[in-house]
Chains A and B, each alone.
Chain A
Amino acid sequence: MADTLSIRRVSATPDAYIPISALRSAGPSYAKLVDIGACIGCKGCEVACKEWNDLGVEPTANFGSYQSHKDLSPKTWLLMRFNEVEVDGNLNWLIKKDACLHCEDPGCLFACPAPGAIVQYTNGIVDFNQENCIGCQYCVTGCPFDIPRFDVHTRKVSKCNMCVDRVEAGLEPACVKTCPTNAISWGSKDDMLALADQKVETLNARGYDNAAVYNPAGVGGTHMMYVVPHGDRLADYSLPSDPTASPTPMTALGFLKRIGAYLMGFGVLGVVGHFLRYGPERLEEHEDHEPRGDTGAAA
């Protein structure tokens, strides 16, 4: 976790509790733009990610795909997915740069019960702070993109942190730096949105009529966006068409928690009130009365 960046949100922490010293003036909001049409599948970004973040090697085996590993892991924060799909009679690689999208409204952060385990900076980066992580994996449940990965040995969750330590120092993330075709761009969110529109126009001119920008509104937009040549085939890119940061059960849970807090509070007040009104029931006072009920007891 970077200590010198302005903070926007902290997990399980009301805004009022974020130390004022952390709320420096808001800087620019950054975004990474991945132009899938310009990706040549070299996986240099995967290597750069491993190197910069010191994630180490994970042995892999040939499983009939050009892909390096089957899935993300606590040590693999970035995975180029090579989905083999037939488009107009031709085999295509619909590549997805699978890593955290850094949602504007992060479902992981909303789901996290541990104060300070997930932080969102004003620059848009969503970062996990493993020191405060309790290992409950609610963030995994809350993420609409299935990104965070749990390490069974450390019992902590991790994911791409957008090279927050590089960004803090004014550098671009390692994957951006290394990409040989400039398929990954880095800049302010506004600039990247404008660049994305240009790239879509270019793709349209080349005959990709369905080219689109992936910046889903259900999570308030993302700080890693894609330009997808086949915008009508999001599922084939393994991209959810309508991700949301507040799915129905979580919205209901938030609402019920509010009501529940009042119910339990009033429950306690209720018994205190009852006690003050009726007091302890002293049986000595009942000696002269009939016992409870209408049958009478042997006495």
Chain B
Amino acid sequence: MADMADRILHRFNFAERIVHWVVGVTFVLLLATGLAFAYPALFWLTALLGGGPSARVLHPWVGVLFGIGMGFMIAIWIRDMFLSDVDWRWLRAMRAYATRDSANVPPAGKYNAGQKMFFWFQGLLAVVFVVSGVPLWFPEFFGSGLLQWMRLAHYLATLGGGLLLIVHVYLGTIAYPGTARAMIDGTVTARWARHHHPGWHEEQTRP
């Protein structure tokens, strides 16, 4: 039993990890400088991209990287992200998941329904970020009325993305030890897989 549990399973390949971290690092930079532009009390965060004027120049370019990363991410993961019957049951059992009532959490496949919803929300937000970000990048070509609505949309996406990030980082690190390594060297233990993604564990360990 113990040796089975300590077996190493490969969860994310090199390309997936690169894409994840391109999106992750650019998003954190964008969030920090975006919040700096939204909240005067956080203006000092522009220092992350070299101060106010340079943050204004670089934020959109970092956004381009983020957009490209999101494009690849959607392309490589979308096939796995459609909700199955088990996922719908999982969503209804979210309370059990949040309170660590493991026995009442339907068995997830490679991704649980929470991760899938995270994927769809982040994908939607990326579209909002890009569509509203382009006019804010080149305001001289757009009317001020439109720009004001784009600022509102860009902020709403920031708020949504910020909240998602808080939960994502928490669950991926301290809440579930053994998870973060999946995005570092790409591996997890069989014990981890059996607990968090029983369906996927079964596929991976089937003789």
Contacts and interface: CB of A to CB of B under 8 A. Distances in A.
Interface in B163-189: 163, 166-167, 170, 174-178, 189
B149 interface: yes
Contacts of B38: 113, 257
Contacts of A114: 43, 52
Contacts of B37: 113, 136
B201 A281 contact: no
B148 interface: yes
A70 interface: no
Interface stretch (B15-23, B62-70, B120-128, B150-158): B150-158
Contacts of B36: 113
A153 interface: no
A291 B194 contact: yes
Nearest to B139: A137
Contacts of A281: 100, 175-177
Contacts of B11: none
A11 to B, nearest CB: 8
Contact of B144 (A143, A264, A290): A143
A274 B158 CA distance: 23
Query: Chain A: interface residue count, which band?
Result: 35 or more
A292 B195 contact: yes
A252 B153 CA distance: 11
Contacts of B98: 274
A270 B98 CA distance: 12
Main secondary structure of the interface of B (DSSP, over half): helix
B205 A12 contact: no
A294 to B, nearest CB: 7
B148 A295 contact: no
Nearest to A132: B52
Nearest to B31: A264
B198 A293 contact: yes
Contacts of A291: 102, 107, 194-195, 198, 201
A132 B56 CA distance: 12
Question: Which of A13, A252, A274, A292: most chain B Cβ within 10 A?
Answer: A292
A256 B206 contact: no
B152 A249 contact: yes
A260 B42 CA distance: 14
Contact of A115 (B43, B100, B202): B43
A296 B206 CA distance: 13
Given A253-B151, A268-B166, A290-B103, A283 B206 contact: no
Given A267-B162, A267-B166, A289-B102, A141 B156 contact: no
B133 interface: no
Interface in A125-170: 132-138, 140-143, 146, 150, 155
Nearest to B201: A297
A289 B191 CA distance: 12
A83 B201 CA distance: 76
Given A141-B151, A267-B163, A295 B139 contact: no
A113 B196 contact: no
A271 B144 contact: no
Contact of B140 (A150, A267, A274): A150
A297 B191 CA distance: 11
A198 to B, nearest CB: 35
B81 interface: no
Given A136-B56, A280-B175, A295-B198, A287 B5 contact: yes
Nearest to B159: A260
Contacts of B159: 256, 260, 263-264
A256 B156 contact: yes
Contact of A137 (B53, B102, B140, B194): B140
A235 interface: no
A12 to B, nearest CB: 4
A20 interface: no
Interface of B: 1, 4-5, 36-40, 43, 46, 52-53, 55-57, 98-100, 102-103, 105-108, 139-140, 144-145, 147-149, 151-152, 155-156, 158-159, 162-163, 166-167, 170, 174-178, 189, 191-192, 194-196, 198-199, 201-202, 205-206
15 contacts: A113-B40, A115-B43, A143-B144, A155-B53, A249-B149, A250-B151, A260-B155, A260-B162, A278-B100, A290-B103, A292-B107, A292-B196, A293-B107, A296-B198, A297-B198
The 5 A-B pairs at the shortest CB distance, nearest first, are namely A293-B107, A134-B52, A12-B40, A249-B148, A271-B170
Given A257-B155, A263-B163, A267-B167, 5 more contacts: A263-B159, A275-B175, A281-B176, A291-B201, A298-B201
